[in-house]
Amino acid sequence: MRKATDPHSGCTSKKNRCEFQTREGLHRSLQPALVGRPVLLYISPMATHWFSPPVPVRTERAGLTRNVNNVEAAGQELMKWTKRGPKWNQAVRVCIACIADQMEPEEARKAFLAAAEEEGMLRSSE
């Protein structure tokens, strides 16, 4: 049973994640496959952590490619993937650290690129 002070008491649970709105913005708690406890992630409505060049990845719709050019979009894509290997886990951790301003967006790009390649989601940039 959760305590009344637990921020997760108001969350809506969705398969290894939960979300709820706070005054600071949207709170998302992720529970990566290789981590035993939830990882808190605050997505500021103002801050976008851009990187270049974009990473082209496969989407759910056949034939469509998404060019991911920021850390927040990379995190969204990572949460959609069903295969979650060690490079996926590392990319999630790096994206979280970048959003918390503990790492640079370029590091998130490198980790996302490696995860996309490992998961077979990477498309050619042509």
* Cα–Cα–Cα angle for 50, 55, 58, rounded to 5 degrees: 130
- 80 vs 22: which has the higher pLDDT: 80
13 versus 95: the higher-pLDDT residue is 95
Q: Closest Cα to residue 31, out of 119, 92, 117, 99?
A: 92
Contact 83, 119 (CB under 8 A): yes
The strand pairing partners of 40, in sequence order, are 29
Average pLDDT value over all residues in the chain: 78
pLDDT of residue 69: 97
Given a cut of 50, is residue 5 above it in pLDDT?
no
DSSP run (H or E) holding 65: strand 65-70
